[in-house]
Amino acid sequence: MAIIESEHIDAEKRFGGNGTIHIQKLLTPKELDGKCAMFARVTIPPHASMGAHKHEGNTETYHILSGRARYNDNGKEIEIGAGTTTFCGDGEIHAIANASETEDLVFMALIINK
């Protein structure tokens, strides 16, 4: 068994989004072994977002732990909440924003390399 020190990143205006989001990378490149680019817990505070971005050579899955989000799936915007899982395929575009005025949006993010 290994205890892994997670890396914390504060990302301002990520992909052209608003505010600062918090990314806690739970595994290092060594543990990801080239199969995944990231496994992280992401927190987006009220009034913040991660802008639209395209995945090329990988896919990304979000699993919402708490809060509410406006999720952009290739230009179609929907509201999602705790328990929802999204999938952005290779060559697709997505974005996510906190839809609450008072509560953080918290989700797991997994990027799998193709």
| pLDDT tens by residue, the chain, 114 residues | 778 889 999 999 999 999 999 999 999 999 999 999 999 999 999 999 999 999 999 999 999 999 999 999 999 999 999 999 999 999 999 999 999 999 999 999 999 999
Q: How many domains would you assign to the chain?
A: 1
- Find the helix or strand (DSSP H, E) in which 32 lies: helix 29-32
Q: Is residue 101 part of a domain?
A: no
Rounded-to-integer distance, Cα 112 and Cα 27, Å: 13
Q: Is residue 34 part of a domain?
A: yes
Question: Given this model, what pLDDT does residue 80 score?
Answer: 98
Q: Is residue 100 part of a domain?
A: no
Looking at this protein, which amino acid is placed at residue 50? Answer: M
Q: Is residue 7 part of a domain?
A: yes
Q: Which of 77, 80, 87, 94 is nearest to 112 (CA)?
A: 87
Containing structural domain, residue 39: 1-44+51-61+75-92
Q: Is residue 23 part of a domain?
A: yes
pTM of the model: 0.95
User: Tokens in use for 104?
Assistant: 């953080």
Question: Given this model, what pLDDT does residue 1 score?
Answer: 74
Q: Is residue 113 part of a domain?
A: no
Question: Given this model, what pLDDT does residue 5 score?
Answer: 87
Question: Given this model, what pLDDT does residue 75 score?
Answer: 97
Q: Is residue 25 part of a domain?
A: yes
Question: Given this model, what pLDDT does residue 4 score?
Answer: 85
